[in-house]
Amino acid sequence: MSTRPRYPIGGRMSDVVLGIGRRFRLPALEQRHSSRLVLGVFAGLNGCVSIGLMALVAFATGQPFVFPSLGPTAFLLFYTPNLASAWPKNAFVGHLIGVLAGWFALAAFGLRHAGPAVAVGVSGTRVGAAAVSLGLTALFMAWLAVPHPPAGATTLIVSLGILTKVSQLLVLMGGVVLLVLQGIVINRLAGVDYPLWSRPLTE
């Protein structure tokens, strides 16, 4: 009898792997679904595929469908699909809050046309914009009960001037939608009890 822990790396990724093994009738995968080796390979392949698809869309359209905070979002969707931070509503609304807070901070500090901080340097107003954007993002995610930590990176992408045009921000949110749809499809395919939007939060 195996003594391998069900969740050897924490999270519930092994449930997703087990579900995929059962769905496609892969007994070897079912038997080894909680192996660290298998979980690592699954995490690597899943990250490669999910972000690779987004990168292909970005390449085909010439639009920024891929941005840094999608990486941790992708990991959350499959590592802890049972937690509120990975639910579709919280991922979408969290990133939306980050975008709006970042754009507000840019406007409030007069930085909408200032160029990215990595190119023009960090000024006092840029520090203020970054601090305010992150503060507002945390504030509204708490008030609206939509926790999604990667949104903190999204708001800094905006307030640091990396993506600032309204068209870019709309594309950014389009990228979030595409990734969340992938999360729904894969988790549901694996038989994970993953909400299509959200479920009531419990203490």
HEC letters along the chain: CCCCCCCCCCCCHHHHHHHHHHHCCCHHHHHCCCCHHHHHHHHHHHHHHHHHHHHHHHHHHCCCCCCCCHHHHHHHHHHCCCCHHHCHHHHHHHHHHHHHHHHHHHHHCCCCCCCCHHHHCCCHHHHHHHHHHHHHHHHHHHHCCCCCCCHHHHHHHHHCCCCCCHHHHHHHHHHHHHHHHHHHHHHHHCCCCCCCCCCCCCC
**C-alpha angle 193-198-199 in degrees, rounded to nearest 5:** 75
pLDDT of residue 135: 98
pLDDT of residue 68: 92
pLDDT of residue 203: 52
* In-domain check, residue 81: yes
Domain count, the chain: 1
**Whole-Å CA distances, 175 to 20, 61, 131, 138, 171:** 25, 12, 25, 21, 6
pLDDT of residue 202: 66
pLDDT of residue 197: 96
* In-domain check, residue 118: yes
* In-domain check, residue 202: no
Range of the domain at 18: 13-189
pLDDT of residue 64: 82
Please check whether residue 160 is in contact with residue 105, taking contact to mean a CB–CB distance below 8 angstroms: no
Cα separation of the two ends of the chain: 36
* In-domain check, residue 203: no
C-beta neighbour count of 98 within 10 angstroms: 32
Residue 166 tokens, joined: 């309204």
* In-domain check, residue 83: yes
User: Residue 98 and residue 83: Cα distance in Å, rounded?
Assistant: 20
What pTM was computed for the model? 0.93
Residue 53 tokens, joined: 């698809």
Q: Which of 177, 126, 121, 112 is nearest to 156 (CA)?
A: 126
* In-domain check, residue 128: yes
Q: What is the mean pLDDT of each run of 10 residues along the chain (203 residues)?
A: 79 94 93 93 92 91 90 94 96 98 97 91 95 98 97 97 94 95 95 93 64
* In-domain check, residue 155: yes
* In-domain check, residue 176: yes
